[in-house]
Structure 1
Amino acid sequence: MTTGRDISVGNTHSRLSQKVREKIEKRLLQMQSE
C-alpha cells in the first residue's frame, strides 16, 4: 500500500534519473565523436 507522498517521490526520482541518463548519453556521444 503506497501513500500519495510515496507516489510523488517516486515520480520525482524517476524524472531525476531520466535527466541523469540523458546527461550521460550526451557525454558518451561527445566522447565517441571526438
Structure 2
Amino acid sequence: MKSIRYHLHFMVLFPISVGISSVNLFFGVQYSLF
C-alpha cells in the first residue's frame, strides 16, 4: 500500500518538475535570443 502511494506521488511530481524545468529553459533561451 505504501509503495503504491509513493508511486502515485512520483507520477504526479515528476511531470510537474519536468514541466517547470522545460518552461524555465524555454524562457531562458527566449531571453538570450531577444
Q: Is TM (by shorter chain) over 0.5?
A: yes
Structure with greater proportional helix content? 2
| Aligned sequence identity (%) | 9
Structure 1: unaligned runs, 5 residues or longer: none
TM-score normalised over the length of structure 1: 0.79
RMSD: 1.1
How does the TM-score come out when normalised to structure 2? 0.79
Q: How many residues align?
A: 33
Runs of 4+ in structure 1 over 6 Å off: none
